[in-house]
Each structure stands twice: as C-alpha cells, then as structure tokens.
Amino acid sequence: MDSIFLNVVKDENSMTELLRNFLSYELFLTEFLRLILPTEIASKINNEDIETQKRIEGNGQPDLLIQNENCEILFEIKIQDTLLTSNQPTNYLNYLQKDTNKYKLLILIIPKSYTHINEWEERVKTSTSNIPTKTIYWENILYILQNHAFLKFNQCFVEFSHLLSSWFENEKINFNNAQVTIMNQKSTPEIIEKLFTIVDGVRNSCSKQVSSRYTRDKGEFCIYFRDKKNIEFLYFGVWFDFWKNYKKPLCFGVGEDFDKEVIDHFKKTHPDAITHDGWIMSWIDEDIFVDENCNEKINQIIDREIKELMSKFNGHKALT
C-alpha cells in the first residue's frame, strides 16, 4: 500500500524533517530514545531539545541534533547508498570532543543495505576521538512502528510505516514450480500486453465523451473515469489483487463512497458484484475474451456503463 508521504519525501532532508515531526509525539519519542540511549539520559530529553540541519561551529551540519544541558547527540542520516563526505564522521567527532561534561554520542541512521558502513567504521576507528558512536537502521524504526500497540493503530504512524516499508523492507518473493512454468511460457507476457492494450483502447474510445485519470503501477493498470466536474465515477482496468483473489483479470466498478443512487444502480445491474477493499466490482466474462471482436465488445460494455452511471449521477465526493 502506498503511503500518503510518497513523492513528498524524496531525499535525506525531507525524510529527516518527517522523522523530526513524528518525534513531536511523546510516545514515539520515548520509543525512539529507548532504541538509542540509556534510560537515565533519555528521561532528560524532551521535544524542544531536537533540531534539524543546525550548523555546528565550522564542523558541518548534522541532519538531526539533540542538545540540552545534559547531553549532545548528533545524527548522520542516510536513506540511500550515498557516499560519505570527506569530513564524515571526523568533524562531528571533533566537535563532540569539546565540553565532555555532557553525555555525547554520534549516531548513524542507515538502511541495512548501506554499503559504506565499513568505511564509516574505519574512519571512526582511526580518529583521535573517544566519543562513542552507534549505528541504527531504518528497519529498527520500522519495527517500532509495526509492533507498538498504540502506534500501529494510529493512522499517521501507519502512513509513516508504509513509507519506511516501501523504502527499506524487501518483500520476500518465492516461485513454485507451476508459477515458474507459466512465467517461462511465451503466452504469459503476451496475455499481460493484450490486457494493457485493451485498457488503452477503452480509454481512447471513451475519451470523447468523458475525461479520465490513468494509473499504472505495481498494483494496477487502470482508468478512473471522470465527469465534467472532474469527479471520478467508474473504475476499469487490471487490478492485480482482484485478479489474484477472484480470477478476474479485467474488472470495473464503483467505490463504496460514491453517490447512493449510483451504487444502487450498479448493484441492481450487476447482482453478482463483489465488494473488495472499498470497491463494488464486476468483471469481463470469460466468453468475451475468446470472441474474435473481444476488444470492441469490451469497449461497448464500458461505454454502456459510463452512459448508465452518468444518467444516475447526483454528485458523489471526489476520490483522492
């Protein structure tokens, strides 16, 4: 599932700012500090002690900084496999070496796939500083979000979790023998290509009477048709999750938050429709696919659906 932060958080600076914003929540701050600090130090830190992108006396600009009368903790944050700068982490360590009456720590936050960790550790080892360092992984932070009883049911943190999961958690994928056989058949990619071509054809065919939004990602290849007010009222395309669950490669339908009259009409004309993940869906029957005029018949089906639904349309709320 895509996060609402997708395409908003694009680099280390924006990810750092997002992390900082979430640290404003006391519960998450407590869990985060527990991950990186001794309890006696963590208990003396509050939200006001945290800053981002603060330049430190000619020694660079750490991504995140926790500073108060008891401690000073610098963070270097990496979200991709970016190189270390020539002065990382040496300048940070030199800075922290001053005023050692406070608790000092340098923390590196990285993905587990970060390949320059050995270089970081070697630079720390060869420095003249005795300041301690610690490495934590984005996957550790994701674990907190996914397993804490409160955070995993708070929608804001669920979205943050989805973002971190999409960036740092690799889904384990295995194929059974039957799937490998199907995958290596010439007809398999041809089937996918033909389905996508049908979706393209429907969009082109219906473009004169109605506008649409086109979506093509790992979960679907589809069209959201819109009326003259730019409000979406009909879905059509390849929805892989629906295909996987119901063995229906091409589906069309309406959302559960659509105008009641539109929904009632769709249910009446499609009594076998399936409700799935917020949508009421019908599908293209198997006998249509084997027809020699397959794409023309599908065009006619969707054209009829558009005309019927628009005749019933009273103005449901737009999808986002």
Residues 68 and 127 grouped into a single domain = yes
Residues 96 and 215 grouped into a single domain = no
> Residue 6 domain-assigned?
no
Residues 217 and 151 grouped into a single domain = no
Residues 125 and 264 grouped into a single domain = no
Residues 100 and 186 grouped into a single domain = no
Residues 152 and 182 grouped into a single domain = no
> Residue 3 domain-assigned?
no
Nearest-angstrom CA–CA distance, 247 and 240: 9
Residues 281 and 232 grouped into a single domain = yes
Residues 188 and 75 grouped into a single domain = no
267-to-257, 261, 262, 282, 316 alpha-carbon distances in Å? 14, 10, 9, 9, 16
Strand order in the sheet with 133-137: 50-52, 64-67, 71-77, 103-110, 133-137
Domain edge (last residue) among 107, 137, 168: 168
> Residue 241 domain-assigned?
yes
Residues 163 and 241 grouped into a single domain = no
Q: How many CB atoms sit inside 10 A of residue 82's CB?
A: 12
Structural domain count, the chain: 2
Residues 6+ apart with CB under 8 A from 274: 242, 246, 280, 281, 282
Q: pLDDT 10s per residue in the chain (320 long)? A: 567 887 788 889 999 999 999 999 999 999 999 999 999 999 999 999 999 998 987 778 999 999 999 999 999 999 999 999 999 999 999 999 987 789 999 999 999 999 999 999 999 999 989 999 999 999 999 999 988 887 777 888 989 998 999 889 877 789 999 999 999 999 999 999 999 999 999 999 887 788 888 888 778 999 999 888 888 899 999 999 999 999 999 999 999 988 888 899 999 999 999 999 999 999 999 999 999 999 999 999 999 999 888 877 644 443 33
Looking at residue 161, which CATH number applies to its domain? 3.40.1350
Residues 161 and 227 grouped into a single domain = no
> Residue 17 domain-assigned?
yes
Q: What is the pTM of this model?
A: 0.62
> Residue 128 domain-assigned?
yes
Residues 70 and 27 grouped into a single domain = yes
> Residue 83 domain-assigned?
yes
**Domain containing 281: what range?**
177-312
Domain edge (last residue) among 130, 145, 168: 168
Residues 130 and 252 grouped into a single domain = no
